[in-house]
């Protein structure tokens, strides 16, 4: 926080971990196995690390619920989605150093290692290769490197799809002529060209946004929440990063959270002034009753606004997660 941050706020941020997530809640998720991981994690993790895990488990819980629904509906006949969901939980367990507590969740490691290699072995684009090199320089762990390679593999695939679309577009373009013959066929080709161009634009935008996010993740991972220090704000940002937002949406959320954190600081300052006034009263020091009452009303009012704003932001971010 700023230089003029109050001492009690500093203590709040570093001691009251319960504000990041409700660590007293043993069942914050719908799926039992996710709650089991959460309950073990809250015994061994703390602070922002615990909040980051919570954000990952929100997504995992949603995927587990979807798997349950697919099984009920008789879908996922070959078990591909189930394997992917289970592997997601394994990766979360590894990512947060919880493997020793869940030895049975090592789930076909040989197969998974091959699966991981298949996802990233063809990383060819120089920009993606550079991100991987920078991650190693930044001291990423082997597990983090493995997960990053998989994500880079997904982005290489998007780029390959874009290049394939571009090639198809060029082939179609060569088939177009501007003569008046075969107008119906020419119109069909122009329509296909327009659709290919739109698909190319969408795919390239996805790649650029993903590339930017990965670059930021690697070069600024220790400050992925920007300058957010209040636990409530950091929790919202951690969730936003998992909510599938594009770069513009994330930037909008970041600005709103910056504004929200400023509101919290103002509320904390007014609350501290009220507490000082109350301490004077309790110790027998004469205070202006009118000023004290105005301060109390002001503190109540701004605290209610902070709570309402916090609830609104949280609901909007969860709406994005539900739409994944």
Residue 112 domain-assigned?
no
CA 17, 20, 21, 22 dihedral sign is: positive
Query: In CATH, what number is assigned to the domain containing residue 206?
Result: 1.20.81.10
The pLDDT value given to residue 227: 58
In this structure, are 280 and 311 located in the same domain? yes
Which of 168, 195, 224 is the last residue in one of the domains?
A: 224
In this structure, are 5 and 99 located in the same domain? yes
The pLDDT value given to residue 301: 92
CA 197, 202, 203, 205 dihedral sign is: positive
Per-residue model confidence as pLDDT tens for the chain (324 residues): 443 443 333 333 333 333 445 666 678 899 989 999 999 998 888 888 888 899 989 999 998 998 888 888 888 766 778 888 888 898 898 888 888 888 766 544 444 444 444 444 478 888 988 888 888 877 777 766 777 787 788 888 888 888 888 888 888 777 766 554 566 677 777 888 888 888 888 888 888 887 887 777 676 554 444 457 788 888 888 888 888 788 888 888 888 998 998 899 888 888 888 888 888 888 888 888 888 898 899 999 999 999 999 999 988 888 888 776
Q: H-helix or E-strand containing 27?
A: none
CA 144, 147, 149, 155 dihedral sign is: negative
218 is written with which tokens?
Answer: 């690697």
Residue 113 domain-assigned?
no
Q: How many domains is the chain partitioned into structurally? A: 3
Residue 114 domain-assigned?
no
The pLDDT value given to residue 8: 37
Q: Which domain holds residue 145?
A: 120-224
Which of 224, 258, 274 is the last residue in one of the domains?
A: 224
In this structure, are 135 and 187 located in the same domain? yes
38 is written with which tokens?
Answer: 């959460």
In this structure, are 215 and 237 located in the same domain? no
Residues 6+ apart with CB under 8 A from 306: 260, 263, 264, 267
Residue 168 domain-assigned?
yes
Residue 42 domain-assigned?
yes
Of the candidates 224, 299, 227, 306, the one whose C-alpha atom is nearest the C-alpha of residue 260 is: 306
The pLDDT value given to residue 105: 60
301 is written with which tokens?
Answer: 């009012």
Kindly report whether the global pTM for this prediction surpasses the value 0.85: no
Which of 73, 107, 141 is the last residue in one of the domains?
A: 107
In this structure, are 96 and 125 located in the same domain? no
In this structure, are 239 and 312 located in the same domain? yes
Q: Where are the alpha helices (DSSP H) in 96-241?
A: 109-120, 126-137, 142-175, 183-219, 231-241
The pLDDT value given to residue 219: 64
Of the candidates 19, 9, 93, the one whose C-alpha atom is nearest the C-alpha of residue 51 is: 19
The pLDDT value given to residue 283: 82
In this structure, are 73 and 95 located in the same domain? yes
In this structure, are 81 and 130 located in the same domain? no
In this structure, are 212 and 267 located in the same domain? no
The pLDDT value given to residue 300: 92
In this structure, are 129 and 91 located in the same domain? no
In this structure, are 54 and 133 located in the same domain? no
Q: H-helix or E-strand containing 290?
A: helix 289-322
In this structure, are 206 and 234 located in the same domain? no
Residues 171 and 187: their CA atoms lie apart, in Å, by 16
The pLDDT value given to residue 241: 83
The pLDDT value given to residue 216: 72
Contacts 24+ apart (CB under 8 A), 94-98: 94/143, 95/56, 95/143, 95/144, 95/147, 96/41, 96/45, 96/49, 96/52, 96/53, 96/56, 97/44, 98/37, 98/40, 98/41, 98/44
């Amino acid at each position: 926080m700023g230089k003029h941050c109050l001492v009690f706020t500093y203590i709040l941020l570093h001691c009251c971990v319960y504000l990041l997530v409700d660590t007293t809640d043993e069942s914050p998720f719908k799926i039992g196995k996710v709650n089991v991981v959460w309950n073990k994690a809250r015994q061994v993790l703390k602070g922002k690390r615990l909040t980051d895990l919570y954000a990952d488990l929100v997504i995992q819980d949603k995927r587990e619920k979807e798997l349950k629904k697919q099984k009920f509906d008789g879908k996922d006949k070959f078990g591909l989605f189930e394997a992917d969901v289970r592997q997601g939980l394994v990766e979360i367990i590894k990512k947060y150093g919880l493997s020793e507590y869940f030895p049975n969740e090592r789930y076909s490691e040989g197969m998974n290692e091959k699966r991981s290699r298949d996802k990233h072995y063809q990383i060819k684009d120089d920009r993606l290769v550079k991100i991987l090199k920078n991650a190693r320089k930044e001291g990423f762990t082997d597990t983090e490197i493995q997960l990053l390679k998989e994500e880079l593999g997904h982005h290489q695939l998007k780029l390959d799809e874009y290049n394939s679309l571009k090639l198809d577009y060029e082939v179609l373009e060569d088939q177009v002529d501007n003569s008046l013959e075969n107008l119906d066929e020419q119109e069909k080709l122009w329509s296909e060209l327009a659709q290919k161009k739109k698909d190319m634009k969408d795919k390239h935008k996805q790649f650029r946004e993903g590339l930017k996010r990965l670059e930021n993740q690697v070069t600024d991972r220790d400050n992925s929440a920007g300058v957010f220090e209040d636990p409530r704000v950091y929790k919202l940002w951690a969730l936003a990063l998992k909510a599938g937002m594009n770069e513009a949406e994330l930037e909008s959320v970041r600005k709103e959270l910056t504004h929200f954190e400023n509101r919290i600081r103002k509320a904390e300052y007014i609350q501290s002034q009220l507490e000082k006034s109350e301490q004077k009263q309790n110790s027998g020091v004469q205070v202006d009753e009118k000023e004290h009452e105005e301060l109390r009303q002001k503190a109540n009012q701004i605290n209610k606004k902070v709570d309402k704003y916090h609830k609104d932001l949280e609901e909007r971010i969860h709406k994005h997660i539900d739409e994944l």
